Amino acid sequence: MDWCFMSALWYLLPVYVAFHFLCFIFADADLTLLRASLIGHRPETTLRGLVVWVTGASSGIGEELAYQLAKCGSRLILSARREQELMRVKRICLENSDLKDEDILILPLDLLERTSHEEKTQTAIQYFGRIDVLINNGGRSQRSLCLETSVDVYEALMELNFLGTVSMTKQVLPHMTQRGSGSVVTVSSVVGLAGAPLATGYSASKHALQGFFNSLRTELTDYPKILISTVCPGPVQSQIVNNAFTEELSKPVATVGNQEHKMPTSRCVRLMLVGIANGVKEMWIAQQPFLLFYYAWQYAPTFAWTITDLLGRKRVQNFKAGLDADSAYFTKPKTS
Ligand SMILES: NC(=O)c1ccc[n+]([C@@H]2O[C@H](COP(=O)([O-])OP(=O)(O)OC[C@H]3O[C@@H](n4cnc5c(N)ncnc54)[C@H](OP(=O)(O)O)[C@@H]3O)[C@@H](O)[C@H]2O)c1
């Protein structure tokens, strides 16, 4: 009997290992999040009825968050600078969900105008009576080489991505500690964990967020029902490249390539919502081979630096040749 059991184990073990290996190779999220999405205890529909405040809701990931949250039945506060775009997003939310007009509050807001954040928060709380989830999503990226980039651009990246997010969190958090529950979910990036050429300031701002929220989570251990979660997406389809900072504050990005090779926004957002519903503290969301980078940077940094140098050099060459740095990752630089 023992022998039978041992030989069964002997044959099943490779199947078990192969299964996990295949899951890993085809995964588009870290294994904790992937497990939650496949066999999670709580589907994203458990967000029904919650009041969710989304910043950067006028485009890209934030816009898609609004659509999927509306379908889940969450009540929404939509913020960004462009009110017209927020009204468009609200209209589409209402067309595709059971929500009523009063279930969605449009609250235009500039993350850089920190003095306005207290009043905006009070408006949101007065309107719905509470905020259950704050999704710090608004932000901008960067496409420029450090040697050519003005310090003003670094300041602007930190002001927007880091201090804007800290300011919003500091306004909403006392309300959550008072109630003893809530979630603060912040969209960081793969470059919040790793490094990438052409994004020194952007990566620094996202690393700053990682440090801030990892420390804040530990400060809040007396509030076990408050979730502090960071989301680290790899490349996702959105307007992020069009809106990126360059060498100078007022200079737009020269080349924006096709975004089709990136993860669909809807998939990224679905995984985010599953993660929020299941209380996942850090989410890695990226298609392969990008997801392997997270594991390399986390568990084998020396190897990761070598690989990043190899691919990074190519990325810089492509950028200097006037190609889109993202879609041109594996493209030969122009020779003429
Ligand atoms: N797409 C990716 O590949 C990717 C990967 C990793 C992380 N992320 C992160 O995902 C988040 C969303 O980006 P996205 O990809 O969806 O890009 P996006 O399409 O450019 O959306 C950015 C959003 O941020 C808002 N925003 C920009 N400046 C703002 C300001 N001063 N005040 C308030 N809102 C502001 C924009 O709205 P207004 O212009 O109307 O203000 C817009 O709604 C960002 O934090 C980004 O760093 C994206």
Tell me the torsion sign for CA atoms 210, 211, 216, 218. positive
The pTM score is: 0.94
140 CA from centroid of ligand 1 (Å): 5
Q: Which residue has the higher pLDDT, 140 or 254?
A: 140
Q: What burial class does residue 259 get, using C-beta atoms within 10 Å of its C-beta: 0-12 exposed, 13-18 middle, 19+ buried?
A: buried
Whole-number Å distance between alpha carbons of 318 and 327: 10
Q: What is the pLDDT of residues 272-297, one digit of tens each?
A: 999 999 999 999 999 999 999 999 99
Q: What is the pLDDT of residues 225-235, one digit of tens each?
A: 999 999 999 99
Q: Which residue has the higher pLDDT, 220 or 322?
A: 220
Decide if pLDDT at 4 tops 90.
no
Q: Which residue has the higher pLDDT, 35 or 79?
A: 79
- Ligand 1 pocket, 235 CB below 6 A? yes
Region 258-282: mean pLDDT is 96
Whether 245 contacts 201, CB under 8 Å:
yes
pLDDT at 328: 64
Decide if pLDDT at 60 tops 50.
yes
pLDDT at 336: 41
- Ligand 1 pocket, 111 CB below 6 A? yes
Residue 112 CA: which ligand 1 atom is closest? 31
Cα 83–86–89 angle (5° rounding)? 155
Q: What is the CATH number of domain 30-300?
A: 3.40.50.720
313 CA from centroid of ligand 1 (Å): 27
pLDDT at 235: 96
Q: Which of 61, 120, 245 to mutate to test the pocket of ligand 1 (most atoms within 8 A of CB)?
A: 61
pLDDT at 275: 97
What is the residue with the minimal CA distance to atom 43 of ligand 1? 56
57 CA from centroid of ligand 1 (Å): 8
Domain definitions of the chain by residue range: 30-300
146 CA from centroid of ligand 1 (Å): 22
Decide if pLDDT at 258 tops 90.
no
Decide if pLDDT at 156 tops 50.
yes
